[in-house]
Amino acid sequence: MTYDIVMGKLNGSIVLITGASSGIGEACAIAFAQEGARLLLSARRMDRLEEAKPKLLSVGAEGVHVFPLDVRDRAAVESAIANLPSEWQAIDILVNNAGLSRGLEKLYEGKTQDWDEMIDTNVKGLLYVTRAVVPGMVKRGKGHVINLGSTASEITYPNGAVYCATKAAELSISDGLREDVLGTPVRVTSVDPGMVETDFSLVRFHGDAERAAKVYQGLIPLTPTDVADAIVWSATRPAHVNIARMVMTSIDQANSLLFNRKQQ
């Protein structure tokens, strides 16, 4: 795939993206690079981040700094943010993208280790990174927090209670943070997509590729690029405009329960 270099709207802005090694996080890195941003990219898979650097620079990133991070580890999050090189510390935009789903079982049959991983990543990880980054934004009088939510935050679907609960928590955290920074120039956005074709289902089903592929059969899902485009759009509104929440689905999805699946 090739990318056209366009005039950047975010030249020099420092954008931190968690979970940037694949899927929506990777697409966000490309989209922000095309706007001339300086990219701070974190993930557990450092090899993927290192591989991405040349491409991101070639499509317009003003600079790229990568570092390993597991958002579930509070001490690691605090240390990583506190010890960023001085020229990378003034984070302008935080994209809390790191997240996952594990399992698709009835609540009373679910695996507690799956619950722990989802809660630790989607809720506690979101809180840890936000807590480490936002004080600097408030102090500098500039910043934008963009959290990756889901249509699962508003309608719980069968066998997904805990994942849906983590995304409902994300929405509440976004709303609460927006209230807490009221009176400062810091903006808070929740971008809530429906079905997006990424490794999401592969992760949910613990690597079962055949089962994961069936999730997307018979319909057109969103792509990571679609979501990244929405995230960058929200970040490039005039400074006095706060896009509080954006809910997006493909034409084949009405909500977390209703899909238009065509016969194969």
Examine residue 253 and state whether it is found in any structural domain, yes or no.
Answer: no
Examine residue 33 and state whether it is found in any structural domain, yes or no.
Answer: yes
User: Looking at the 3D structure of the chain, how many domains does it have?
Assistant: 1
pLDDT above 70 as % of the chain: 97
Examine residue 254 and state whether it is found in any structural domain, yes or no.
Answer: no
Does the pLDDT at position 7 exceed 60? Answer: no
In this structure, the dihedral spanned by the alpha carbons of residues 44, 220, 56 and 201, taken in order and rounded to 10 degrees, is 10
- Indicate which residue of 3, 157, 163, 216 is catalytic: 163
Examine residue 209 and state whether it is found in any structural domain, yes or no.
Answer: yes
Q: Residue 33 contacts by C-beta under 8 Å, 6 or more apart in sequence?
A: 39, 56, 57, 59, 60, 61, 64
Supply the CATH number for residue 72's domain: 3.40.50.720
For the residues 17-26, what does the mean pLDDT come to?
97
Does the pLDDT at position 3 exceed 90? Answer: no
Examine residue 255 and state whether it is found in any structural domain, yes or no.
Answer: no
For the residues 154-166, what does the mean pLDDT come to?
97
pTM of the prediction?
0.94
Examine residue 139 and state whether it is found in any structural domain, yes or no.
Answer: yes
User: pLDDT class for 8, splitting at 50, 70, 90?
Assistant: low
Does the pLDDT at position 10 exceed 70? Answer: yes
Examine residue 249 and state whether it is found in any structural domain, yes or no.
Answer: no
What confidence tens digit (pLDDT) does each residue in 193-229 have? Answer: 999 999 888 888 888 888 888 889 999 999 999 999 9
Mean pLDDT of the chain: 94
Enclosing domain of residue 216: 14-242
128 is catalytic: no
Examine residue 258 and state whether it is found in any structural domain, yes or no.
Answer: no
User: pLDDT class for 58, splitting at 50, 70, 90?
Assistant: very high
Q: Rounded to whole angstroms, how far apart are CA atoms 131 and 142?
A: 16
